[in-house]
Amino acid sequence: MLETKHTTAVSSPVLRPIRRSPHLREVLCLLAAFAIIGQFIFAFQYCSIKLFPEATNDHAANSTLGFGGIYAVSRKGSPRRQSLLRAASLTNLNVNIPAQPAWTDKDLARIKAPVNSALDRGSAMAWLGHRNALEKFLKSSHDTALIMEDDVDWDTRLRTQQIPQTAYAIRELLNSRPGGYYGDLRSWDIIWLGHCGDFFNASRGSDITSIKSFHDPTMPNMDELHPWTKGFLQEIGANENQQRLVHQSVRPLCTFAYAITRSAAERVLNELTIREPTRHRDHPCGAYDVRLLEGCRDEGLRCISVNPELFHHSNIGSEIAQMTEDRRTDGGESEQEGAGDSPTTNIRCSARSRRWRELQDSITDPSIDAGILVRELAELSKDCYIDGL
C-alpha cells in the first residue's frame, strides 16, 4: 500500500523537476542506498552486542588477581586503611600498602604546573600517592601491578567469579590466548578495572573497533546500575541484563583501580606524570586520573576498560574533597571506619559492607572458625549472602 502511494507521489506534478533531472535522482538513490547499507552495518555491529560463551576454566584467580602484586594508594594515617584490609582479607586478596613520605609543600609545588595549575591540595597528594605506588611496583620484580585507591569497594565474588571471566574476555579481545593470564603482556599497557565511567557513542561507529561482552551473574540488575551506566549500556546496544564488556578504552575517568605493566609504569612515571602539564587556563589537566586518561586517549598508551567497572569508590566520603576543604594532613584513624550501608555504585555485593563484620561477630560457636566461614559465604555464594541479613 505504502509503496503504491509513494509511486503516485513521485509522479505528482509537484515533483516533476526531480524526474526531469536524472542525475539528481541517481545521486539521491545512491545516497539512500548508502544510508541503508550503513544502517545495516551499524545494526549488525552495534544494535545488539552479542554475548560470547562463558569461560570454561572457572578457577578462581590467585590472591593478586593474576597480576604480580596489588598496591593500594593510601597515605599514612588514612582512616580508610583498616576497612580496606578487612575487605581484602574477606575476599582473599593480598594488598600491599606502600609507605608514603609525608609530602611537604615543596613536594606539592614541584608537581604543579608553573602557570595555570588546577591541582588543588587533595589532587596533588593523590598525584604523588599514585607515583609513589608506581615507584614501589618498579622496585619489585613483578611484570604487572594492580594499583587501587584505598577507598574503593568491590564485589565479594571478584576473585572467584568476576576476574576469571574478565581475564578470559580480555584474552579474547587481545586474541592472544596462549599468553599470560591477561594475554600477551606486550599487547596492553593499562587495564582499567575500576573507574567512574568510560562512556562513548559506539553508534557513531568511530569510537571503538571491538567489544567483547559476557554475561556476568554477579552484576547488579540493569535498573540498579547508575543511571549514566544504564543509559550508556542501552545506547550502545548492550541491552541484556547483567552484560559486562571489555573494550579498548575511550575516555575512562577516575583511577579507582587499574592494572599496569612495567614498561607502561616507567612511561607514566618518567614521561606522562612528572608534573601537571602546563595548559591554557580554560583547559587544565587538574588531576592524575585526567592525565592517565590523556595517556590512553592521546598519547599512545594501549588501554582496556572493563565496563561497567569492577571497582568503585565506596560511599564513605571523598577524602580528596574533604582534605581540600580542611587542608588537613592527618585524619583520625577511627573516623569513617567501614562503609555504611548505602550501596556502592555499580557493585552488587559490597566487600566493604560492615554487615560481613557483623555476621562474623554473631557467630559465637567456638568450634566454628567464623572468619573462614564468612569468607566462604562471601566468595562462593551464587547470590549476595548479606542481602538476607
Ligand X SMILES: *[C@@H]1O[C@H](CO)[C@@H](O)[C@H](O)[C@H]1NC(C)=O
Task: Report the interface residues with ligand X, using CB under 6 A.
Answer: 62-64, 66, 68, 94, 181, 199-201
What's the min distance (Å) between Cβ of 68 and ligand X?
Answer: 5
- Cβ distance to ligand X smaller for residue 62 or 242: 62
Report whether 237 contacts 44 (CB < 8 A): no
- Cβ distance to ligand X smaller for residue 46 or 199: 199
Q: How far is CA 202 from CA 42, 104, 175, in A?
A: 9, 44, 21
Question: Could you give the CA distance from residue 330 to residue 323 in angstroms, rounded to a whole number?
Answer: 9
What's the min distance (Å) between Cβ of 70 and ligand X?
Answer: 9
Question: Could you give the CA distance from residue 185 to residue 3 in angstroms, rounded to a whole number?
Answer: 57
- Cβ distance to ligand X smaller for residue 263 or 318: 263
**Coil, helix or strand at residue 283:** coil
- Cβ distance to ligand X smaller for residue 68 or 284: 68
Which residue, 384, 335, 341, 359, is CA-closest to 157?
Answer: 384
- Cβ distance to ligand X smaller for residue 133 or 386: 133
- Cβ distance to ligand X smaller for residue 111 or 133: 133
What's the min distance (Å) between Cβ of 258 and ligand X?
Answer: 17
Q: Exposure of 216 by Cβ count < 10 A (0-12 exposed, 13-18 middle, 19+ buried)? A: buried
Question: Could you give the CA distance from residue 160 to residue 65 in angstroms, rounded to a whole number?
Answer: 9
- Cβ distance to ligand X smaller for residue 238 or 316: 238
Q: Phi first, then psi: what are they for 70, rounded to 5°?
A: -115, 130
Q: Exposure of 332 by Cβ count < 10 A (0-12 exposed, 13-18 middle, 19+ buried)? A: exposed
What's the min distance (Å) between Cβ of 75 and ligand X?
Answer: 25
Q: How far is CA 296 from CA 51, 272, 292, in A?
A: 26, 11, 6
Question: Could you give the CA distance from residue 327 to residue 319 in angstroms, rounded to a whole number?
Answer: 11
Cell numbers at residue 170, please?
580480555
**Coil, helix or strand at residue 155:** strand
What's the min distance (Å) between Cβ of 69 and ligand X?
Answer: 8
Q: Are strands 95-96 and 69-73 parallel, antiparallel or unpaired?
A: parallel
What's the min distance (Å) between Cβ of 62 and ligand X?
Answer: 4
What's the min distance (Å) between Cβ of 201 and ligand X?
Answer: 4
Other residues' Cβ atoms within 10 Å of the Cβ of residue 115: 9
Report whether 284 contacts 277 (CB < 8 A): no
What's the min distance (Å) between Cβ of 265 and ligand X?
Answer: 15
What's the min distance (Å) between Cβ of 21 and ligand X?
Answer: 33
- Cβ distance to ligand X smaller for residue 227 or 366: 227
